[in-house]
């Protein structure tokens, strides 16, 4: 789904000017990061938008750079969106996930920024395992874990921290503090809302720990390596068809390795996603005569999502994992 739109230089300048004019016109306090008395918060994509909305409540106006149904890795920032960043009261993003957003923030230089990557530790969860290494990885044990640790830093850090409720709670606390700093008049409300959200995330963590007990296997196969933090938290083994980038193509050796992993790991389901192509996942499942189901990395909410918000989709993911792993 790599769709890139190129605009002539004149169109870019015109769009930028239009964006600045529109932002000024719709703001009751132009230039101070507010619209109709509410703090303007710009989020890079859905998980950041969700935090800003839940913590900010009625005191913020939240917009997202990534529209529903758009794969966030593919996002290209428009001049108008860059202008929007410069005018925002707070920008909430995750550095390293969307290069175009990182670049635009550097250009716009907003006054207040909350970088989710600075609130929780990031790790390398690359899963491209080929040849005999695939056999060792499928067998599990400390050797496979240590080999993974030894290679940390060899690839870009995995940005999908929101799929671990514990790390996501850490990010929520960081966003809450950023909101308090950007809008101190409503600091008490932001602090209260943060505490309530962190409590809900704690309950979600408990649900996953309880729900995944008594499973028949730890191994699951999914489209791209988005579930490394979730797997680490609950003792699972993610085997991804592609890497952290959902658009990367698996090698023939990787596909052969997945055949072995599926058999040794007692895998009965191949998971696909809602925002990227399911072609390879369904082809692999057909070759192995396995079932397919959705495991959603929650990079965006659309009409195809199995839930209306983060919590609903996470619990749908838990149900899917329980079925696939044979949890009792």
pTM of the model: 0.81
CATH value at residue 52: 3.40.50.1980
Neighbours of 217 (CB within 10 A): 16
In a domain, residue 7? The reply is no
Cα–Cα–Cα angle for 201, 205, 210, nearest 5°?
145
Percent of the chain having pLDDT more than 70? 79
What sections of the chain are H helices per DSSP? 9-26, 46-56, 79-87, 99-108, 131-139, 141-150, 165-182, 187-211, 228-234, 252-264, 279-288, 310-325
Q: Which domain holds residue 45?
A: 26-121+162-203
Whether residue 320 has pLDDT greater than 90? yes
In a domain, residue 20? The reply is no
Residues 191 and 288 in one domain: no
Per the structure, the count of domains in the chain is 2
In a domain, residue 81? The reply is yes
Domain boundary among 182, 203, 224: 203
Residues 99 and 188 in one domain: yes
Q: What would the DSSP string read from start to end of 50-82?
A: HHHHHHHGGGEEEEESSPTT--GGG----HHHH
Residues 289 and 226 in one domain: yes
81 burial via Cβ count (<10 Å: 0-12, 13-18, 19+) = buried
* pLDDT tens-digit map of 203-244: 999 999 999 999 999 999 998 889 999 999 999 999 999 866
Residue 54 main-chain phi, psi, to 5 deg: -70, -35
- 39-48, 73-82, 138-147, 266-275: which is most confident: 39-48
Residue 22 main-chain phi, psi, to 5 deg: -65, -45
CA distances from 175 to 12, 165, 193, 303 (A): 32, 15, 11, 27
Cα–Cα–Cα angle for 314, 251, 130, nearest 5°?
85
């Amino acid at each position: 789904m790599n769709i890139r739109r190129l605009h002539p230089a004149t169109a870019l300048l015109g769009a930028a000017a239009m964006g600045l004019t529109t932002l000024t016109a719709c703001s009751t306090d132009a230039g101070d990061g507010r619209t109709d008395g509410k703090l303007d918060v710009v989020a890079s994509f859905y998980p950041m938008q969700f935090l800003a909305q839940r913590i900010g409540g009625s005191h913020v106006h939240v917009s997202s750079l990534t529209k529903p149904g758009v794969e966030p890795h593919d996002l290209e920032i428009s001049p108008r969106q860059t202008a929007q960043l410069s005018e925002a009261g707070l920008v909430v993003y995750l550095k390293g996930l969307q290069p175009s957003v990182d670049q635009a923030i550097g250009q716009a230089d907003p006054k207040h920024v909350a970088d989710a990557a600075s609130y929780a530790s990031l790790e390398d969860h690359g899963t491209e395992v080929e040849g005999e290494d695939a056999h060792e990885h499928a067998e599990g044990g400390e050797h496979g874990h240590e080999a993974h640790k030894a290679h940390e830093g060899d690839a870009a850090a995995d940005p999908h921290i929101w799929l671990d409720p514990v790390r996501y709670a850490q990010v929520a606390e960081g966003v809450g503090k950023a909101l308090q700093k950007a809008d101190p008049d409503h600091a008490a409300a932001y602090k209260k809302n943060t505490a309530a959200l962190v409590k809900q995330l704690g309950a979600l963590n408990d649900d996953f720990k309880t729900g995944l007990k008594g499973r028949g296997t730890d191994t699951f196969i999914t489209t791209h390596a988005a579930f490394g933090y979730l797997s680490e938290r609950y003792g699972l083994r993610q085997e991804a068809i592609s890497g952290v980038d959902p658009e990367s193509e698996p090698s023939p050796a990787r596909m052969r390795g997945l055949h072995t992993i599926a058999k040794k790991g007692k895998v009965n389901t191949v998971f696909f996603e809602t925002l990227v192509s399911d072609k390879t996942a369904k082809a692999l499942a057909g070759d192995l005569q396995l079932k397919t189901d959705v495991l959603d990395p929650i990079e965006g909410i659309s009409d195809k999502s199995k839930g209306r918000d983060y919590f609903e989709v996470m619990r749908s993911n838990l149900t899917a994992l329980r079925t696939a792993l044979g949890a009792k």
